[in-house]
């Protein structure tokens, strides 16, 4: 094979007259692919509380808090910062109540709080948060 | 050479040292050998140019003490040789109390990395491996704590357990 | 052409020394980086980036490593920059008549330009960092390899003009056909020699980051590093000016200066992006076996034709 | 006396030539390397130990994270092993999709390597261009699986998603552009004078050496060793879509470049074939949660060479022991031996010549050390980090 100098000459000249391949990310956004595995979303109406999703989660990112088993009152506590976005829970769910959103994927924050997300019917979540607040207050007041 | 003839050939080569042989899967041959016959067995394989040394696995078998006759804890060291689809495994068992095995580096020099991993993870001393400095664990990892033994279950407990273990042995 | 009435010393601070050189050095660095980026189909930095880098570095803490000769460690970058700035005095910067000019100033300029490299080598050898020492050895090895061919290549036009004075050569070049045409080999050697001098790829083995981190400058940080970088940028401008003066028909006015030096810079950037890095032994071999011989052959032709 | 006069150049654990932490010490005389040692473990994460505390499905994701580049093959090796132990086989369509992903991953890995190796050789332009074109395959992977890395294709007993008509066309189109570009790069690496000066005759490993050191993958094939698990012991859909062996007798870096780029063409051909003859059918089959007790060996061909899994199940939901032997570990030995006698400037090229993957090797958790001479425990470091950011 012939040995030559500057085999990439054509490339570099062409690229002078071409748009750079770089994407200026925050200003320039490409549409996300359909199958993008972004944030987990949960539809409480279909859930039976079987906990199959939790069993196989590789990173303990989801917890199902049972408020009332008979009335199917559940709250899903989802830790975005632990989630590995593998979608195993979506596969495991037999009632199709879990899904991964393809739009919300920019997950940056300076502290950890926004990463704990509660899903559920509004009144259930409110009830749970209130209960937790009460418990916390009780705990801190109690021991000393 | 298809897989079964390769395995037959390997079985013939290893015949003099084999304590027991098994064929767990069609493409595999497990040969249990004594500690002392490891080097001759490996030498025979290399001399016959049977495959290449592919991996070294340590398997921890903790002591079982409930009910059955008490079995001493041991580490099973598995030397895997591959030739096309055929895999031959030499199985050598070394007890905790005398966790020593001869290094096969004189026959296969590249085995030293695997051996060092075995030393660090299972605490099996490979006599004769050229370099025994830490390869994978950090320099300040405590001596005598072998993370891949079943008795290691995390750091705080491990030290306690290791101490217990020492007193028991 | 230059009939300003300010005090010469103050004038010197603005032009050709001081401010003008700093600004043009940064500008040329940006153009170089941008061009290389465009050749590689990237976006490249914004024009403010070299200045931002400089300001950032100047504002950073300067750490002097253990085991160095402290005064030397701090003085070397200053000497390097000063040498580069001084060299600008004898070169027709921006197409104006040089601030100072005397017989034989070509030699002085060339050696002032080499002082920067020498300082770099010393700076590397001064520290006990292994990367810096290897970088220093390589820097000096490279210095010895390209210096002779580069000098020989610049001698060609000087001989043609029968003068060691840069202004004379400039004047001669303006009157005659471009010497890049009449002495093509010399031009090539000078251009590539300039790349070696500036340690641009493919001659960047003295600071090959994948081998020896940053070479001689590994231990430098903050102000010292900023001064070295600035020195290099200025050397880039001066080198380009020198080659343009000698080989591209002289520099009669600022417009010519801009067009010619920028044209050279485009070629330089293209060459930078075309090749893989040469090992130091290959660099030396290339210069002595090819570069020096070519330059000598060029001189021989010149002598024969006179 | 001799030993004291040795001049040792450390490369790593933090070094621009290494994109991952590993520590090499090269003793040099002038520019010539006279000895080399290696120290690994800077990215140990305790995966082999961690596997014993997780169930099979969870392990699939854990093992996928052994390597960020060849993540798919790790999960595949585990899934294949678990399926074999359970006595089931994934449906043909699932096998074909796994193979398709493996080959796409190989393309992405080889392109990445081409760029990195060019960068080590100071050929920035080739680096930039090959990585630009690598984006095509990354986009394909993303549109297929939803992720650029860690695709999570596998389930135990099948795959998660199907390849639709739309993907079919997309992939074919992408492959076409890539093939064109790869031809160009093959020309560049085999004809460019400056680049050849850095690769030809450098890092020479003979056939005998390669066999002795037990080198695997493209590194071994570049020395003429005919060793490829896809051919020797076909798995997944490779029996239906056979691969042609690519070898070269050169044994030097140039040969490694050639072998890897030629393998790319083989991957393109394979992908086209798979897409055109995609078997229909189900994507998953049922596998019990408890995998029957037993031992198995699962070997697959990762982009870097043979990946070896020894899997032992004790009949519970969790594996008893999973041993991973990554291809890089096999090839380390060759580096430390081959390095001797070369110039320091060639070290990064030789190192990257085997396409090392540090995180593949390191799977053990350790206590972190601070940068100063003072040794810090992980807790201290964590506390320091938290306090540092609180003050800001």
pLDDT at residue number C183 = 79
Counting Cα atoms < 13 Å in the Cβ hemisphere of B163 gives 5
How do residues B127-157 score in pLDDT, each as one tens digit? 887 777 777 777 777 777 787 777 777 665 4
Question: H or E stretch including D309?
Answer: strand D305-313
**In whole angstroms, what is the distance from residue B154 CA to residue B151 CA?**
9
State residue D265's pLDDT score. Answer: 92
Q: Kindly report the CATH number assigned to the domain that includes residue D308.
A: 1.10.645.10
Cα C4 from Cα B114, distance rounded (Å)? 78
Residue D6: the pLDDT is 62
User: In this structure, is residue A2 part of a structural domain?
Assistant: no
Out of D61, D126, D193, closest to residue A88 by CB:
D61
The answer for A 46-105 residues in CB contact with D (under 8 A) is 55-59, 84-88, 91, 100, 102
Q: Of the ranges B60-64, C173-177, D27-31, D280-284, which one carries the lowest mean pLDDT score?
A: D27-31
Using DSSP, state whether B55 is helix, strand or coil: strand
Three-class SS of residue C279? coil
Give how many domains chain B has, as a whole number. 1
Domain with B139, as residue range(s), is 3-168
Q: Residue D191: its chain C contacts at CB < 8 A?
A: none
What are C63-107's pLDDT values in tens digits? 777 777 888 888 888 888 888 888 887 777 766 767 677 777 888
Q: What is the pLDDT of residues A14-69, one digit of tens each?
A: 888 888 888 888 888 888 888 888 888 888 888 888 888 888 888 888 888 888 87
pLDDT at C209 over 60: yes
Domain housing D150? 51-316
Total domains, chain D = 1
**What's the longest Cα–Cα distance across chain C?**
58
CA neighbor of D111 nearest in space, from D271, D269, D326, D260: D260
At C147 the pLDDT is: 84
Q: Count the domains in chain A.
A: 1
C-alpha dist (Å) from residue A24 to A27, A139, C217: 6, 50, 32
Instruction: Please give the C-alpha separations between residue D370 and each of B139, D228, D367, D376, D384, in angstroms, as whole numbers.
Output: 12, 42, 10, 5, 10
Average pLDDT over residues D38-59: 78
> Mutation test of the interface with chain A: which of C43, C265, C278, C286, choosing the one with the most A Cβ atoms within 10 A?
C43
The pLDDT, as a whole number, for residue A18 is 82
pLDDT digits (tens, 9 = 90+) for C234-292: 888 888 888 888 888 777 778 888 888 888 898 888 888 888 788 777 888 888 888 78
CB contact (8 A) between residue D369 and residue B138: yes
Q: Looking at residue A49, which CATH number applies to its domain? A: 3.30.70.3270
Q: Could you tell me which residues are beta bridge partners of residue D7?
A: D28
Q: What pLDDT digit, counting tens, does each position of D155-205 carry?
A: 888 888 888 888 888 899 999 999 988 988 888 888 888 788 778 877 778
Position D268 scores a pLDDT of: 92
Q: C43, A24: Cβ pair inside 8 Å?
A: yes
Residue with tokens 């007259």: A17
Supply the CATH number for residue B57's domain. 3.30.460.80
According to the model, what pLDDT value does residue B162 have?
Answer: 41
Characterize D100-119 residue by residue with b for buried, 16 or more Cβ atoms within 10 angstroms of its Cβ, and e for exposed. Answer: bbbbbbbbbbbbbbbbbbbb
Contact D192 A6 (CB under 8 A): yes
The Cα–Cα gap between A68 and A66 comes to: 6
Q: Contacts of residue A2 in chain D, CB cutoff 8 Å?
A: 191
The percentage of chain A sitting over the pLDDT mark of 90, rounded to a whole number, equals: 0
Question: Over 50: is that where the pLDDT of D376 sits?
Answer: no
* Subunits in contact with chain A (3 or more CB pairs closer than 8 Å): C, D
Residue C27, judged by CB atoms within 10 A of its CB (0-12, 13-18, 19+), counts as middle
Cβ-in-10-Å burial (0-12, 13-18, 19+) of C86 comes to middle
In this model, does residue C13 exceed pLDDT 80? Answer: no
Arithmetic mean of pLDDT, C22-43? 88
Q: Determine whether A70 is exposed, middle or buried from the number of CB atoms within 10 Å of its CB (0-12, 13-18, 19+).
A: exposed
Please check whether residue A120 lies inside any domain of the structure: yes
Mean pLDDT lowest among A89-98, D199-208, D329-338: D329-338
Task: Tell me how far apart the alpha carbons of residues D363 and B73 are, in angstroms, rounded to a whole number.
Answer: 25
Average pLDDT over residues D357-365: 50
Chain D: give the shortest CA distance to residue A17, in Å.
15
Query: Which residue among C37, C41, C274 places its CB closest to the CB of A9?
Result: C274
Let me know if residue A11 belongs to a domain: no
Beta strand D294-302 with D158-159: parallel, antiparallel or unpaired?
Answer: unpaired
Decide if D217 contacts D306 (C-beta within 8 A). Answer: yes
- Note the pLDDT tens digit of each residue in D2-44: 444 567 777 666 666 666 666 777 777 766 777 777 777 666 7
The pLDDT assigned to D370 comes to 31
Q: What percentage of chain D reaches a pLDDT higher than 70?
A: 82
| Opening angle at CA C125, ends C122 and C131, nearest 5 | 125
Lowest mean pLDDT among A132-136, B67-71, C133-137, C226-230: B67-71
| CB spacing of C39 vs A9 below 8 angstroms | no
**Average pLDDT of span D237-250:** 86
Q: Report if residue A16 sits inside a domain.
A: no
Round the average pLDDT of chain A to a whole number and report it: 81
| Of residues B53, B87, B133, nearest to D214 (C-beta) | B53
Task: Give the domain range for residue A124.
Answer: 30-135
* Residue A91 falls inside a structural domain: yes
The whole-angstrom distance between A96's CA and the closest CA on chain D is 14
């Amino acid at each position: 094979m012939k040995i030559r100098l500057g085999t990439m000459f054509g490339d570099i000249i062409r690229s002078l007259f071409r748009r750079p391949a770089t994407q200026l990310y925050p200003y320039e956004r490409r549409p996300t692919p359909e199958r993008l595995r972004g944030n987990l979303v949960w539809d409480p109406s279909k859930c039976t509380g079987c906990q199959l999703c939790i069993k196989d989660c590789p990173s303990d990112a989801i917890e199902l808090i049972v408020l009332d088993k008979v009335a199917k009152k559940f709250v899903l506590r989802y830790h975005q910062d632990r989630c590995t976005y593998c979608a195993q829970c979506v596969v495991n769910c037999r009632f199709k109540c879990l899904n991964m959103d393809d739009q919300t994927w920019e997950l940056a924050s300076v502290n950890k709080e926004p990463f704990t997300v509660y899903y559920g019917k509004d009144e259930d979540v409110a009830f749970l948060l209130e209960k937790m607040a009460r418990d916390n207050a009780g705990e801190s007041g109690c021991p000393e | 050479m298809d897989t079964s003839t390769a395995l037959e050939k390997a079985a013939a080569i290893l015949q003099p040292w084999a304590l027991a042989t098994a064929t767990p899967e069609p493409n595999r041959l497990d040969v249990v050998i004594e500690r002392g016959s490891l080097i001759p067995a490996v030498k025979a394989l290399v001399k016959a140019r049977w495959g290449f040394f592919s991996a070294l696995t340590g398997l921890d078998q903790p002591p079982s003490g409930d009910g059955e006759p008490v079995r001493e804890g041991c580490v099973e060291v598995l030397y895997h040789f591959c030739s096309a689809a055929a895999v031959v495994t030499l199985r050598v068992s070394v007890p905790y109390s005398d966790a020593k095995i001869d290094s096969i580096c004189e026959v296969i020099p590249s085995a030293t990395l695997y051996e060092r991993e075995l030393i660090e993870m299972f605490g099996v001393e490979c006599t004769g491996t050229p370099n025994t400095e830490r390869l994978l664990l950090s320099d300040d990892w405590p001596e005598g704590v072998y993370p891949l033994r079943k008795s290691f279950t995390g750091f705080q407990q491990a030290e306690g357990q290791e101490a217990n273990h020492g007193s028991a042995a | 052409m230059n009939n300003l009435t300010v005090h010469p010393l103050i004038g010197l601070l603005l032009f050709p020394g001081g401010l003008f050189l700093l600004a043009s050095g940064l500008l040329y660095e940006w153009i170089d980086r941008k061009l290389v980026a465009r050749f590689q189909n990237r976006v490249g930095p914004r024009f403010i980036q070299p200045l931002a880098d400089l300001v950032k570095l100047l504002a950073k803490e300067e750490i002097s490593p253990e085991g160095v000769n402290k005064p030397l460690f701090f003085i070397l970058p200053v000497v390097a920059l000063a040498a580069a700035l001084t060299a600008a005095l004898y070169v027709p910067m921006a197409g104006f008549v040089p601030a100072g000019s005397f017989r034989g100033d070509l030699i002085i300029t060339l050696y002032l330009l080499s002082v920067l490299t020498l300082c770099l080598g010393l700076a590397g050898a001064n520290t006990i960092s292994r990367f810096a020492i290897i970088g220093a050895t390589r820097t000096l090895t490279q210095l010895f390899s390209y210096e002779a061919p580069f000098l020989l290549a610049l001698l060609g036009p000087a001989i043609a003009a029968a003068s060691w004075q840069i202004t004379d050569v400039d004047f001669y070049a303006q009157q005659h056909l471009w010497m890049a045409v009449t002495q093509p080999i010399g031009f090539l050697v000078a251009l590539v020699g300039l790349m070696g001098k500036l340690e641009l790829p493919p001659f960047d083995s003295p600071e090959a980051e994948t081998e020896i981190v940053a070479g001689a400058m590994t231990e430098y940080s903050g102000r010292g590093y900023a001064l070295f970088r600035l020195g290099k940028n200025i050397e880039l401008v001066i080198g380009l000016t020198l080659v343009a003066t000698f080989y591209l028909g002289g520099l009669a006015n600022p417009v010519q200066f801009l067009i010619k030096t920028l044209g050279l810079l485009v070629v330089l950037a293209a060459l930078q992006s075309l090749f893989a890095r040469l090992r130091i032994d290959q660099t030396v071999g290339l210069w002595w076996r090819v570069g020096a011989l070519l330059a000598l052959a060029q001189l021989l032709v010149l002598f024969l034709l006179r | 006396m001799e030993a004291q006069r040795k001049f040792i150049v450390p490369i790593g654990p933090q070094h621009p030539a290494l994109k991952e932490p590993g520590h090499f010490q090269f003793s040099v005389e002038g520019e010539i390397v006279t000895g080399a040692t290696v120290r690994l473990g800077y990215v140990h994460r305790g995966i082999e130990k961690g596997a014993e505390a997780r169930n099979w499905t969870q392990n699939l994701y854990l093992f996928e994270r052994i390597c960020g580049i060849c993540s798919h093959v790790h999960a595949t090796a585990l899934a294949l092993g678990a399926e074999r132990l359970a006595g089931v086989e994934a449906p043909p369509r699932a096998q074909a999709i796994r193979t398709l992903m493996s080959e796409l991953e190989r393309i992405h890995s080889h392109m990445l390597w081409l760029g990195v190796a060019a960068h080590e050789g100071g050929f920035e332009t080739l680096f930039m261009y090959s990585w630009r074109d690598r984006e095509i395959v990354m986009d394909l992977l993303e549109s297929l699986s939803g992720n650029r890395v860690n695709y999570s294709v596998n389930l135990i007993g099948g795959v998660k998603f199907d390849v639709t008509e739309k993907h079919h066309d997309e992939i074919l189109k992408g492959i076409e552009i890539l093939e064109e570009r790869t031809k160009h790069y093959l020309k560049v690496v085999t004809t460019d004078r400056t680049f050849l000066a850095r690769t030809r005759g450098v890092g020479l490993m003979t056939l005998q050496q390669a066999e002795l050191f037990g080198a695997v993958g493209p590194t071994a094939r570049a020395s003429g060793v005919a060793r490829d698990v896809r051919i020797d012991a076909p798995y997944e859909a490779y029996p239906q879509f056979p691969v042609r062996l690519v070898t070269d007798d050169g044994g030097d870096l140039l040969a490694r470049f050639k072998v890897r780029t030629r393998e790319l063409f083989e991957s393109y051909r394979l992908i086209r074939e798979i897409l055109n003859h995609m078997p229909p059918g189900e994507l998953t089959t049922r596998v019990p949660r408890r995998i029957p007790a037993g031992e198995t060996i699962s070997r697959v061909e990762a982009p870097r060479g043979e990946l070896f899994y020894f899997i032992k199940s004790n009949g519970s939901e969790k594996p008893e022991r999973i041993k991973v032997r990554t291809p890089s570990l096999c090839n380390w030995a060759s580096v430390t031996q081959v390095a001797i006698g070369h110039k320091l400037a060639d070290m990064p090229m030789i190192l990257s010549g085997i396409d090392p993957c540090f995180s593949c090797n390191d799977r053990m958790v350790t206590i972190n050390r601070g940068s100063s001479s003072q040794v810090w425990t992980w807790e201290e470091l964590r506390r320091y980090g938290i306090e540092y950011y609180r003050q800001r």
